Structure 1
Amino acid sequence: MNEKNAGGVRQRSVEVVVPVYNEAHVLAGSVGRLHAYLEEAFPFPFRITVADNASTDTTWQVALELAERLPHVHAVHLDRKGRGRALKYVWSRSTSDVVAYMDVDLSTGLEGFLPLVAPLLSGHSDLAIGSRLHRQADVVRGAKREFVSRSYNLLLKLGLAARFSDAQCGFKAVRTEVFRALAPRIEDNAWFFDTELLVLAQRNGLRIHEVPVDWVDDPDSRVDIVRTAGDDLKGMGRMLRATLARRVRVSGVPRRAHRSWVPDDRTAAPSSPTTASLPQGLKDMEYAS
């Protein structure tokens, strides 16, 4: 997917993952809209990967049809649920310079995608997150979800000294080589995956860029708020123990000044990791493109 411009210089590329579970009713419309927007407005080579998290409806069939019909769309099927599991699987194998994800409901305005990934493509930052809690964000959602979100992020600041404002917004990106370095330390395969990635990045001195987003709550959200909150609190406890035991430092994390990040045509695309190097439980997956 990495392409060269008219001068023969390899262009930076982005792979955006859309994790889905039983979303057959909205998948075609959302991915079609995303594909059209990126083709028209995004100035870098891109790839969209639909990651089906063990759906029991016709989501996988819809994903295959999209992959056959749209030139930049691919699909991967996982036999086990978990947004974090899907992102680990696709991001670890990506040959793009930057990997990202967004929720299938496209609650976040697509106009924020280029501001999200641009600091990573330029080498300015290592991770980027959309923030619904930024003072310049424009958010429409119910009081309950607003309270839960603000309370959770406050707990992260108090308990883990988090310096990022919104851990759970489904609109994130990371330099691929940085993710590969951090991935073996990320234990969660579900909703806490985002927080764990961000805490690890902060503890290792990586730069996290925040983008205020326009965000409209999806009334059809499948998130179990109570269960997710409980799992997040358990994850926070585990991360706190790891921090106190100094188990959050990762050796060999690529820095922004690393020479492999210089954009010229001698830069080789990252090789895909071997199956043995991937986190446990990410084997025997089915790919389609």
Structure 2
Amino acid sequence: MDTTAMRTRLVEVVVPVYDEQRALRASVTRLHGYLTSNFPYGFRITIADNASTDNTWQIATELAEELPHVRAVHLDEKGRGRALRRVWSRSEADVVSYMDVDLSTDLDAFLPLVAPLLSGHSDLAIGTRLARAARVERGPKREFISRSYNLLLRSLMGAGFSDAQCGFKAVRTEVAQALLPGVEDEQWFFDTELLLLAERYGLRIHEVPVDWVDDPDSRVDIVRTALDDLRGLVRVTRKTLSGAAGIPVPPRIQRAELPRGMARQLPRFAVVGVASTLAYLALYSLLRPVIPPLAANALALLVTAVANTAANRRFTFGVTGSDGALRHQFEGLIAFLVGLALTSGTLALLPAQVPHGVELAAVIAANAAATLVRFLLLRVWVFNPRRRTAR
């Protein structure tokens, strides 16, 4: 692609700010200088002031007058998500992006971030501080909270992306404008919700390992932000299970479809699985003081496996009547044996004097892996409608 053609492509960089009079001028000047000298595409920097109470807005308007390709937008309410929604929803750029005003992320990662979006290879792109190739300098408290939060996303929501909180993201504008109506949050959970929604529609998320240096003067209340994110996770999980999270997506955005019937089966299987897990834990905890752990595990699994197969037969896969019930229970025991092998193997590997809490956590993790295998076996073998039709 020649230089003239590249310059006709436009990337909008949003810098959300609230009471950032200390850092705003130096950061935007540095960002503008870097993009002018090193970025091969056209760009626009938008300073989005979230109802600042200091001189941030005055500095933003001065920068817009002094520097080409810089503009300022003022909002009357706080909220990073609200600022991004306002600018992205009205942008005519090819790609919209944002970065934190402290420029903690090395700017050399910006071109690798947006290039796959401009070429059409990906739909969204995020910087990740959790990849092996990333180089990160930050305190243990932030490191622990960040890794714990992203672990929750992967384990509870099945997220495939590694770092939801890095303030360094970009989206194809048509994709952003299609997804924004389905995103409710206006604060820090905004981009996590956007990414989860994008994954549900099978959109392609590109990850770039970044060099990142923590800003010691950051204004972010990480504990409050973490609690807000957890509340957001609960809300999104509830919407997903209730089937209320869908939004219309334009035909130009390719949507990945789940196999037939799975969109209905997965939430029901999850509900049955949660109930079975709670019953299993209760049985295991009651049996553990009176019999050895391997025996307690086997008995608790056997009882809940029978109930689980019966519940999934009726509610998840819609099989009614007594025809084939015994065969289904027998075949369901195959999945039970897989779970027994995983959990028993986990218990056998634990040291003899391990605390009860660690033992219980290990059993839960093994049981989660067995649950995934169980769903696949039930769907493609035990309750496969082709087998029922053939019979």
TM-score range, shorter chain: 0.7 to 0.9
The answer to whether the 8 A contact 2:21-2:56 is kept is: yes
* 1:12 aligns with one of 9, 14, 37: 9
Query: CA–CA distance in 2 between the matches of 1:204 and 1:225?
Result: 30
Is 1:24 aligned to 2:21, yes or no? yes
Aligned 1:79-98 pairs, distance under 5 A: 79-98=76-95
The equivalent of 1:231 in structure 2 is 228
1:40 deviates by 0.4
Aligned 1:32-71 pairs, distance under 5 A: 32-71=29-68
Structure 1 runs (4+) deviating above 6 angstroms are 5-10
Q: SS at 1:37's partner residue?
A: helix
Aligned 1:146-165 pairs, distance under 5 A: 146-165=143-162
Query: CA–CA distance in 1 between the matches of 2:158 and 2:62?
Result: 45
Answer 1 or 2: which has greater helix percent.
2
Is 1:112 aligned to 2:87, yes or no? no
Aligned 1:1-289 pairs, distance under 5 A: 11-253=8-250, 255=252
Query: CA–CA distance in 2 between the matches of 1:221 and 1:38?
Result: 24
Q: SS at 1:99's partner residue?
A: strand
Q: 1:205 to 1:28 in 2, by over 3 A?
A: same
The answer to whether the 8 A contact 1:123-1:256 is kept is: no
TM-score by length of 2: 0.63
The answer to whether the 8 A contact 2:7-2:42 is kept is: no
Identity of aligned residues (%): 70
TM-score by length of 1: 0.85
One-letter code aligned to 2:15: V
1:9 deviates by 8.7
1:257 deviates by 7.2
1:244 deviates by 1.2
1:246 deviates by 2.4
The answer to whether the 8 A contact 1:21-1:59 is kept is: yes
Q: SS at 1:194's partner residue?
A: helix
1:248 deviates by 2.9
The equivalent of 1:261 in structure 2 is none
What are the Cα deviations for residues 58-110 of structure 1, in whole angstroms up to 9, with x where unaligned? 00000000000000100001010000000000000101010000000000000
The equivalent of 1:270 in structure 2 is none
Q: SS at 2:234's partner residue?
A: helix
Query: CA–CA distance in 2 between the matches of 1:113 and 1:6?
Result: 18
Note the residue ranges of structure 1 that are not aligned, 5 or more in a row: 259-289
Query: CA–CA distance in 1 between the matches of 2:23 and 2:5?
Result: 39
**Larger RCO of the pair (alpha carbons < 8 Å, separation 6+):** 1
Answer 1 or 2: which has greater strand percent.
1
The answer to whether the 8 A contact 1:130-1:212 is kept is: yes
The equivalent of 2:375 in structure 1 is none
Query: CA–CA distance in 2 between the matches of 1:193 and 1:255?
Result: 24
Q: SS at 1:17's partner residue?
A: strand
The answer to whether the 8 A contact 1:52-1:76 is kept is: yes
The root-mean-square deviation of aligned C-alpha atoms, in Å, is 1.8
The answer to whether the 8 A contact 1:52-1:78 is kept is: yes
The answer to whether the 8 A contact 2:7-2:40 is kept is: no
1:254 deviates by 5.4
Query: CA–CA distance in 2 between the matches of 1:135 and 1:119?
Result: 21
Query: CA–CA distance in 1 between the matches of 2:96 and 2:209?
Result: 19
